[in-house]
Each structure stands twice: as C-alpha cells, then as structure tokens.
Amino acid sequence: MRGLKILKKVMADILGKIKKKGLLFFKKAKKAGKALKKKVNPIRKRVFSNGVKKLSRKQIAFIVFLIFFLLAGGDWLTKDGASLFKKIKFNISNKSINRTFTIHKDQKALEPASLEELILGPLFSDEGRRATIGEKLGMGSKSYSVSPEGDLQAAINEASDYDVIYLDKGTYSVNLFINKKLRIIGQGEETILKAAKEKNAIIKVRDAGLGMEEVVLADSYIGLDAGSAEIFVSNTRFRNISATAFYAKDSSIELKASSLTSCGEAIKVLRSSGSIRNSIIYNSRKSGVRLISSDFTIEYNKITGNQSYGVYVDEYSDAKIRSNYIEGNEGYNVRIQKTRDIYK
C-alpha cells in the first residue's frame, strides 16, 4: 500500500510538471504569435495599401505555419536529419563497393621458393632450324625458305595448309595476313619481324592456325593478333610492342618458352583457352596477362615488373595459376575477380 501511494505521488508530480511546461509552452507561443502579428500588420498595410485585397486570418496563419515549418525543418537538417542523410548516403554507396577480398601478402600459394625452381626452357638455341611446338599443326607437303629481300606474304599466299616457311636471318618489314594453317620458323635473335604499317599488327591470323618458333616480333604497335584461330608459339620474343604484344579472341592458344618484354600489355585474351608456360613476362606498361571470359593454365612463368597487374583474371574466367614467380608488379601481382582474391 505504501509503495502504491509513493507511485501515485510520483505520477502526480510528473503530470504536474508536464502541465506546467505545457502551459508555459502555449503562453510563449501565444506571445510569439502576438509579436509576429505586430510585425506583420505594418508590412501588410504597406503591401496592400494600393487597394489590393487584404490577407485573411487563415492565410496569415498558413504563412506563419509555413515559416515555422521551414525554420524547424532547417534546424532538424543541421542536427538529427543531417546524420540520417549521412546514413542513407553511406548505405547507398556501400551497396556498390561492398566487395571483400582476401589478401595474400606472402604469396605462398603462387610463388616458388626461388627462381631456380622455374622450368623456363630454352629461349633460342644453337641447334639450328628445328620444329617443336608447331608440329601440333601437322606437316604439309612443301616447305619454303624466305630471306628479308624476298616476299614473305607471297610465300604465305602460295603455301597450303600445314606447310612450313623457314625464315633466314635479317629484319622483315611486314604486315602479314594468315588465313590458313601454317608454321613459321626463324633462326632466333637475328630473325626480326617489324610492322611495315605502324598501327597494323605484324601478324594477323583469322579463322586459321599458326605455329611460330625462333622469331623476334619487335618495335611495333601490335605484335600477334589472332581471331578464331589455333596458335602455337614457342621460343619467340615479343619486344617493345607499344599496344598489345599478343592479343587473341575466340582462339586456342599455347605459348611456351618465350619472352614478352617492354610492351604496352603483354598478353590479352578474350573468350579463349589454352596455356602460358615457361615464359618471361616483364616490364609491361599495363598488365602482364589479362584474361577476359577465358580459361587458361598459367605455370612456370616469371612475371615481374609490370606496371599494372601481373595477372588479371576477370569474374567470367577460370585460371589455374601455379608454380610461377610473380612479384614486383606495381598493381596487384594477381587479381582473381571470381574468387575476389588479391595477391600483393
């Protein structure tokens, strides 16, 4: 009973305080209304002194309410409202960037213990003319021998599927177009192909096949451009190709024991499949390897010093990346969008 009396007393005190504060609020509001009316009346007299219809009490009340609402609204925006809008903005922006990545700083999944573990294979040799990876295209009935003074495109046009074209030492200024299955074999460092027309590829392959060995593609805008093709490249250098050294679209690629250095982007493939093995990909101004909607095995390569990604794999690609030395690339060493893994 005593507790009930205390509770009633407390409630009575609270109600009394609320009532007092309410009366005080209404008194202040009434006083403010009168003061505002005194200020509004002279203005109204001046504005409507030229015979214009006077404002009614309802119109004045509406204007007072509107002014009060705008003032109160502004105060709310600078305090609680502002914080609410910050939350909304944060949630909207967070929706587009809320992606988590796994950071592997030690690269144990990708990096062998030392460079000696790499099986890079020969890059040119003194064994003379020899067929290796290009043999997968088969053997034709004829072979051709071309010197820098000869017409390499004419030899390509004359050849039949699976024929072999041997290149003598020297520099060839060409823009080759291949639409059949051929093999081109050079003699190493001194067999150099450059683009005759700067913006065109040194070699363009369409709906065909190419096996290429012991050749240097250098000092041009695009090196090898393959579309709907079967490409086998072995023991070949791509050097100082300013745009893309090796571009392939809708193709099957096998690149082995080669080097791609000082290029714009070393290897870029779209909707293609194949492998990149035993090669050096160094000092590209963009990425070393970029896979777009493709499926590749990348192993036993040295991929270093590229100014963007070492290897970039988009979310629509699959890549088996193993036993490579991938380090010192200025962007991420490996970025795999599908699994959201980043290898620093």
- Position 63 scores a pLDDT of 76
- DSSP secondary structure letters along 150-174: S-HHHHHHH--TTEEEEE-SEEEEE
Cα–Cα separations (whole angstroms), residue 38 to 15, 44, 70, 276: 35, 10, 21, 88
CB 314 within 8 A of CB 292: yes
- Counting as low any pLDDT under 50, the low residues of the chain are 47, 51-52, 76-80, 82-101, 104-106, 128
The predicted model scores a pTM of 0.67
**Tell me, what amino acid is at 40?**
V
- Position 324 scores a pLDDT of 87
- Position 134 scores a pLDDT of 75
Task: Tell me the three state secondary structure of residue 64.
Answer: helix
- Position 92 scores a pLDDT of 37
145 Cβ contact list (under 8 Å, min separation 6): 165, 166, 168
The one-character DSSP state at 108 is: T
Residue whose tokens read 């450059």: 194
